[in-house]
Amino acid sequence: NGQRVELEEIQAVIYQSNSSISNCAVVKVVERGRDHLIAYIQLNKTSKSVPFDEKLIRINCQDHLPQYMVPSLFIVVDQLPFNSNGKLDKAALPKPNLSSLLLPINNDEISNDQENQIPMSNEQQLVHDLWCDILQYDVNSKIPVNRSFFSLGGNSLGIMRLFAQYQIKFSLDTKSSSFTIASLFRQPTIAEHTQVLQQWLNHTSQTQLWSTLNIYQAEASYAQQRIFMDQTIRFSDETFVYNIPLVYRIISNSNIQQITIDQLRQAIDAIIAKHAIFRTSLNWDMNTYALVQHIHQFNDRNQYEFLISYAENAEEITKIINKEITSSKLFDINRGIVLRCHIINVNNKHNSSRTDEEIFLEKDDIIIFNLHHIAFDGASQRIFFTDLKYNLENDSTLLNNENQFQYIDYSVYEKQMDIISSRHFWQSHLDGLNLERRIMLPFDRHRILT
């Protein structure tokens, strides 16, 4: 998870916290992708030393350890279990009640206990909901605002994802000295994150949240320009470097309701209707000498490719997949065709008399989602499949998304960003360079790919 955890160091701090501790062990427990450190403590029953106080133990750990090394729970046991080899028998340890880290869902009371305070403000509630999303807790979960992100199973990757989400939700400027990933590590609670965000917002009074512009045509973003120029000028016509094929095989699971071809198509329709980038064409405007993006209304299914192929053996399957990976003719960014869904029906189940409403995706069938990089990247993948899952589970219909922030809005705001600091950076690095000197570079032929 990107963090170096020294279990022996944690145990040493716990021993120093209370003289009545005769033995302790810290183990890592993983639940639904969340990492928890659990401290099991054995007390010396014959000792008349200081009584055991979990709160004091936790405070001592917080004072002497990085926040991500503070155990989520401290569990007192009569005796630590060891096997015949003298090693800790982790299987014999009592299972931790990780649900105790959250408040009961029906608990809306304001607690006087600082450790169990629920979100009090709209900002705290927004931060709380982002935590639930990153930590994969139910949206109705109640996370105490003074509970550490790490004690809830978060890690450094989760903090970085939170940092990115805060930037989006609050339109944060990463150049702000008061808002850094390091500050989120040092202050890892909902209350502290909210305070850091409010300090930044108060300090930057001119900051305005970006909102949708409700436009359908604008100059392309810098990233779109780069990819378009690469594909049009730099790379040859046979280059497939911008294909992003995502290949999945249907597995047997009796707990999952079967999905028909038509249901999958409707779910994809809803995604394309929601995210205008999947129906955005890019063309060079000879009048303005600029690359222009244009959003097309989603009126039919001609704005993306949906195919069904039939394969009887592994060789045929491999051939189809390789074509999706290596073909340079699958997309047409001039028309906004940037998404393909290719289903491979295996085991010779082809029956031309059945409609899409009657054909179910079955075990070993393969789905290939292929997308062009001009409309999709690694960060988009989670959004795409979250929406796909929601649409399949809720029989989603096409919605009116006029007020939703779109990529075309970002491309407009991007050109309004203050780049003075960037200009100063390059001016200082290029200081003394003779800008009048002409560099003879070949521009009458394609660049050789290396």
Q: Is there a domain that residue 2 lies in?
A: no
Which residues sit opposite 337 in a β-bridge? 332
Q: Is there a domain that residue 29 lies in?
A: yes
CATH of the domain at 128: 1.10.1200.10
CA nearest neighbour of 217 among 282, 295, 298, 299: 295
Q: Cα separation of 63 and 68, whole Å?
A: 12
Q: Is there a domain that residue 285 lies in?
A: yes
Residues 138 and 60 in one domain: no
Q: In the chain, how many domains are there?
A: 3
Residues 236 and 346 in one domain: yes
CA nearest neighbour of 51 among 14, 18, 78, 15: 18
Q: Cα separation of 76 and 244, whole Å?
A: 51
- pLDDT, one tens digit for every residue, the chain (450 residues): 446 678 899 999 999 888 888 899 999 888 877 888 999 999 887 655 567 788 888 888 888 888 788 888 899 998 999 998 889 999 999 998 888 777 654 444 444 455 567 777 888 899 999 999 888 888 778 888 888 888 888 887 788 888 888 888 877 765 555 577 878 888 889 999 998 888 777 665 444 567 788 889 999 999 999 999 998 887 777 778 899 999 999 987 555 578 899 999 999 999 999 999 999 999 999 888 899 999 998 877 788 999 999 998 999 999 999 999 999 889 999 999 999 999 999 875 655 566 666 788 888 999 999 999 999 998 899 999 999 999 998 876 656 566 788 999 999 888 877 666 667 777 777 788 877 777 776 655 555 554
Place of tokens 């928890």: 36
Residues 96 and 11 in one domain: yes
Alpha helices in 258-339 (DSSP H): 261-274, 314-326
Q: Are 124 and 190 in contact, with CB atoms under 8 Å apart?
A: yes
Residues 159 and 307 in one domain: no
CATH of the domain at 274: 3.30.559.10
Residues 158 and 279 in one domain: no
Domain range spanning residue 148?
A: 115-203
Residues 307 and 375 in one domain: yes
What angle is formed at CA 305 by the lines to CA 303 and CA 308, rounded to 5 degrees?
150
Domain boundary among 203, 233, 267: 203
Q: Is there a domain that residue 428 lies in?
A: no
Count the alpha carbons within 13 Å of 286 in the hemisphere toward its beta carbon. 0
Residues 261 and 297 in one domain: yes
Q: What is the pLDDT of residue 164?
A: 85
Q: What is the pLDDT of residue 249?
A: 93
Q: What is the pLDDT of residue 69?
A: 87
CATH of the domain at 84: 3.30.300.30
Q: Are 154 and 196 in contact, with CB atoms under 8 Å apart?
A: no
Q: Is there a domain that residue 214 lies in?
A: no
Q: What is the pLDDT of residue 109?
A: 44
Domain boundary among 40, 65, 100: 100
Q: Is there a domain that residue 209 lies in?
A: no
Residues 305 and 272 in one domain: yes
Residues 382 and 356 in one domain: yes
Residues 90 and 119 in one domain: no
Q: Is there a domain that residue 208 lies in?
A: no
Q: Is there a domain that residue 424 lies in?
A: no
Domain boundary among 74, 100, 126: 100
Residues 400 and 253 in one domain: yes
How many C-beta neighbours within 10 Å does residue 61 have?
Answer: 22
Residues 231 and 345 in one domain: yes
Q: What is the pLDDT of residue 263?
A: 92
Count the alpha carbons within 13 Å of 308 in the hemisphere toward its beta carbon. 18
